[in-house]
Amino acid sequence: MNSLFTPTDREALSLRLATLEPGTPRRWGTMEPAQMLLHCSIGLEVGTGDRPMRQVFLGKLLTPFLRGRVFGEQPFMRKVPTDPSYVVRGARDFEAERTRLATLIDRFVQRGPERAAQFTHPFFGQLQGHEWGILMYKHLDHHLRQFGV
């Protein structure tokens, strides 16, 4: 299972991130590349504890049914609704957002799975540390695939 806590998986994502350009066309969705970078940073801020969240009621109801799919081998599906707190609008500075995301990836990894397990995901609630690593990897992979990188 791929994880942001696995050095080879993280390096592969970093190489893909480096190939993303400000004008890279999206394959689906509405975000531009810089907006996507900020969107992914917001997710990592939850996993580092920089953006504390509470689990939404719908997440409490649905997580038991979705857990196997989310933390399984399959990549995330397209067109899954986004929590409003993760929605990014307006123009963003591409290089600033790429740097911010890379810094957050490093901070998330340095803090490790034990620290990540202390934080609540807004939909899935309390996660084990290794689940945070899988979730953050799959989220980044999903959005890099969105832009064909």
- pLDDT tens digits, residue range 68-97? 888 998 889 887 878 788 899 999 999 999
Q: Quick one: pLDDT at residue 35?
A: 98
87 in a structural domain: yes
Q: How far apart are CA 103 and CA 14, in angstroms?
A: 11
Domain containing 36 — which CATH number?
1.20.120
Position 4 pLDDT exceeds 80 = yes
30 in a structural domain: yes
Q: Quick one: pLDDT at residue 66?
A: 87
Q: What is the DSSP letter of 97?
A: H
Give residue 82's domain range: 7-146
Residue 119 CB contacts under 8 Å (≥ 6 apart), including other chains: 46, 47, 48, 49, 52, 53, 132
Q: How far apart are CA 89 and CA 34, in angstroms?
A: 10
2 in a structural domain: no
Q: Quick one: pLDDT at residue 80?
A: 80
82 in a structural domain: yes
Q: What average pLDDT does range 9-15 have in this prediction?
A: 97
1 in a structural domain: no
More confident residue, 101 or 79: 101
Q: What average pLDDT does range 112-121 have in this prediction?
A: 97
117 in a structural domain: yes
What total number of domains does the chain contain? 1
- pLDDT tens digits, residue range 19-73? 999 999 999 999 999 999 999 999 999 999 999 999 999 989 998 898 888 899 8
Q: Quick one: pLDDT at residue 69?
A: 87
pTM for the whole structure: 0.94
Q: Where are the strands (E) in the chain, listed by range? A: 120-121, 125-126
User: In this structure, what token pair is assigned to residue 13?
Assistant: 């994502």
Position 18 pLDDT exceeds 90 = yes
Q: What is the DSSP letter of 82?
A: P
